[in-house]
Amino acid sequence: MPHVNVKMYPGTSEEQKAKIAKEITNVIMKHTGKPDAAVSIAIEEVAEEAWMKEVYDKEIKPNMEKLYKKPGY
């Protein structure tokens, strides 16, 4: 606990993804008091042309009330 799944357009390097995962892990540890071993991070690339159908329509739009940060599009 917790697990975070980040979805983003392709094009981010493996090094950048590792840095993103580390930063997210650090923030979670700081604010929850959970150890590094308790945190898992997944990063999934989704093509731009598939974003609205695969991510927005399925995950974002039906869950707006659960989002602490809503998209501006």
Please confirm, yes or no, whether 2 is among the known catalytic residues: yes
Best CA proximity match to 7, nearest among 49, 58, 43: 43
Q: Looking at beta carbons, which pairs linking 15-24 to residues 24 or more positions away fall under 8 Å?
A: 17/43
- For the stretch 2-53, pLDDT in tens is 999 999 999 999 999 999 999 999 999 999 999 999 999 999 999 999 999 9
pLDDT of residue 37: 98
2, 10, 35, 62: the catalytic one is 2
pLDDT of residue 49: 98
pTM of the model: 0.90
pLDDT of residue 32: 97
pLDDT of residue 8: 98
pLDDT of residue 33: 97
